[in-house]
Structure 1
């Protein structure tokens, strides 16, 4: 039986970040601090294994090289709800995969802030949702605003609660877009299963920078805002407010079919791709078929 256990923190939560004065049993923080999240994941993994649990996957917010050995599914923590934060998450996820940790995810729409009734934030979460469809793990979470007051004077009633954060909480337009991408994700399930099997067997990151698949293409090494989701699909998220088009680089050595238009392009070139609010640019490689 599979077991999922959520760990809110996998690192010490400091109130003052003077790392040079912190000490652990095995040494000072500045020398060995990054071992903490590895040992944290290992401790839970070994305990759960001894209790008879199998296929262990734990959702944690901090990791280091080797954490993947202990079923670490890493999310990027309590991040800001903004386009700037979305751009950072894209780079973080690609680096996480290259570091050997394939199970990675973000809070769709960020965690801190974001009012479901704010049109600007609705655009952020739509674009984030589209991006997240092509991440190893796709999940909603967040502390939306405005918070509701506590419901009582004791126990759990003392806690305030965030605003609604379901897929239907952002208006009809957003809901239809969310539904579209949820169905894309569902249709891609067999493909994603293959990607995760490759990650398990060979360490191949499911999402990776263009240079991973196209190391001979010099331009591919300069691209930080696109990625390959497996070997067959290039994803070019929309990362800026108000953008309804973007430039996309298509790596050389392959041909590319734009999903939204069906137009085929030769690699090794930049193109201008339309990106209305309901779509992000997606490209299939070398005649590949995916049920997008």
Structure 2
């Protein structure tokens, strides 16, 4: 199949070997990369705001038969003759580069016919590992892997909240899934001067190994990620907020002292704790009423047998003690629940 590379509005596309690749400017100093296994561009559920692709500066695009380049402010992305993307800061520093271990030929499609391939003077490998790889599942979708070269000295920060002690996430493996004790937010800031968002809501895994960075989804048919370059972590986070949404100011009642324990059985237990703080001259901001205040899992209401008048409890907490109650809700549902 012949490689097709075309320039679009603030973007370029590449079609080859049943893959549609779209690289486009998306926000200031930022680029979005999407790949579709079925050659069809479709809107998918993602974290980027509608209209956030607008940029304040001029976007420069250069394409030829075998390569392409896009420049958006401080970031430059290059697609080379081996179908690999490399991302650079405007000062020329390499930020991130897709990982391939293929034969040194142009647009390697796996063919063993020497008459159909063009040999190049590049690093040669027979491992047949692409940067963007789709492996068919038994159903109609794919296991998708995206690979990047790893800088052993790079430091990686972010990715949400995991139960470990590591601030620097280099050399860790992280599950991309939400759990009771885990919040996965697949965005990180690199010490090399860029921010990276894995823009996919699916369950998967990322490995920040010394020799390879690998993102993997078990069941999907597309790849979507966003990368930004800037001169400070503050500016990188600003670029990220501009395309994903800005965090609202934390309410005052959540900035003080919180009280929480495994659970409170009755409103009397809640009030006893709040009264004790009050008697000791300690001002609570928030008290968390956690699990099993409901009758059954999935019924988002108070159990009338133990909490006959929750409205009165809330009024007392707020008006007499200036304490804001926070009610915990679990995402579990019993088969015999009302919902």
TM-score interval (norm. to shorter): under 0.3
Higher normalized helix content (fraction of residues): 1
TM-score (norm 1): 0.23
- Could you say which structure has the higher strand fraction? 2
Of structures 1 and 2, the larger Rg is shown by 2
TM-score (normalised: structure 2): 0.21
